[in-house]
Amino acid sequence: MKNIFKISVVVVLLLAVAVGNVYAGNDKRRGTAGATELLINPWAHSSGWGNVSIANVRGLDAFYSNVAGIAFINKMEFAYTNTIYLGGKSGLRSGVGINAFGIAVRLFDRGVVAASVTAIGFGNIEVTTVESPDAGANGTFSPSFMNINVAYAHSFTKSIHAGFNLKVVTEQTADIRGTGFAVDAGIQYVTGENDQLKFGMSLKNWGPSMNFRGVGHSFAYENAAGNDMTAEYRSASMELPTCLNIGASYDFLIPAGEQRITMAASFTSNAFLKDNITVGLEYSLFNIMQLRGGYIFTFEKLTKAARTTANTGLCAGASVDIPLTKKKADGSVRPTLALEYSYRAAAPFKGSHSIGATIRF
């Protein structure tokens, strides 16, 4: 097992160095990646404090932040989150809805297998063409994006945990479709007398380029000889939005009332976007109620005219863990139902709202 862990560490570090050497600091590549929906966190719990939980994420939320956190699932876990992305009660709305569902099962003493599906819908969009530019005259179309993930996480020791995730990305409309494949890998290290200090690192969305195919790329025309011909455009390939995350967290434990205050920070190196630093704070009472908040500092100018992302950095969330059975005499973990909410600010949109539920056994 120690050899497997060493190999995992070496692989993640080599991939991280390779990505950093090829892409870091290359402003000409900003905004040229495909499948950028992979950079949207679909889970309510971790998005409530800015995806800062690289070191201490636990459960199915780890699919986004650091897949190594799946190793902490007790026996089984189900999770569902619905997100209204970039749209609130008033103001400019994107019309985008995100649904994420995940399941995880502990199959081995130290190993957990998990799967998740994230579906993104855009509603009905009116078709406009060069010949008929008026909206509403040509019907509508409905794009759909979907990410399918299968992961395995393993606890090598009480302190060392690692995992990897295989994902399939699909983007399609009625007449065109793109498919991509990627790998995530992550490591977490836990130390301290009460496991209060944690470190983590994850590499996400590393894989080959993707492109689009379908009849939407073809068109009919008449050549110089008067013959009817059909030609097809070639789709340019797009690289996936690879990123490297490094984070740390520390738990301040307060025995009175079983309280906990967790401070966390992370750094994200994006291959095709601006890098950012995130800080977050979470308060827990009786291991039942949690309040959290965070801020994402992006390395760009903060003026509206110069911004390249709608995310203004502020985020907040809350969750309540409801026990489903009475406390057991042997002190073992009880099944719980967690209700979760998160808010992420955005401009000129009115922010993103996520509501989710998680059942843990």
Taking alpha carbons only, the member of 3, 9, 11, 16 closest to residue 270 is 16
CATH of 2-360, one of 3.40.50.2300, 2.60.120.10, 3.30.390.50, 2.40.160.40: 2.40.160.40
Asked if 306 and 278 count as a contact pair (C-beta separation under 8 A), the reply is no
pLDDT at 293 over 50: yes
Please give the structure tokens belonging to residue 82.
């619905």
Residues in Cβ contact with 266 at an 8 Å cutoff, skipping those fewer than 6 apart? 51, 52, 53, 54, 55, 245, 246, 247, 248, 277, 278
What mean pLDDT is predicted for residues 133-144?
77
pLDDT, residue 89, reads 53
Tell me whether strands 177-191 and 212-213 are parallel, antiparallel or unpaired.
antiparallel
Lowest mean pLDDT among 4-8, 31-35, 107-111: 4-8
Lowest mean pLDDT among 153-167, 216-230, 262-276, 337-351: 216-230
CA distances from 100 to 16, 29, 127, 286, 346 (A): 27, 29, 28, 28, 21
pLDDT, residue 25, reads 46
Lowest mean pLDDT among 6-20, 115-129, 252-266: 6-20
- As a whole-number percent, the residues of the chain with pLDDT over 90 amount to 55
CA distance 163 to 155: 9
- Res. 125 pLDDT band, cuts 50 70 90: confident
pLDDT in tens, 324-349: 888 776 667 789 999 999 999 987 77
pLDDT, residue 143, reads 87
Lowest mean pLDDT among 125-139, 186-200, 226-240, 252-266: 125-139
**Domain edges within the chain:** 2-360
Mean pLDDT taken over the chain = 85
pLDDT at 88 over 80: no
Q: Is 286 exposed, middle or buried (0-12, 13-18, 19+ CB in 10 A)?
A: exposed
pLDDT in tens, 194-230: 999 999 999 999 999 998 888 877 778 777 777 888 8
CA distance 242 to 208: 10
Q: Report the residue count for the chain.
A: 361
Q: Is 141 exposed, middle or buried (0-12, 13-18, 19+ CB in 10 A)?
A: middle
User: Which range among 65-79, 136-150, 233-247, 257-271 has the greatest average pLDDT?
Assistant: 65-79
pLDDT, residue 18, reads 46
pLDDT at 96 over 70: yes
Angle value at C-alpha 18, between 15 and 19, nearest 5 degrees? 85
pLDDT, residue 93, reads 64
What mean pLDDT is predicted for residues 43-62?
95
Helix (H, G, I), strand (E, B) or coil at 69: helix
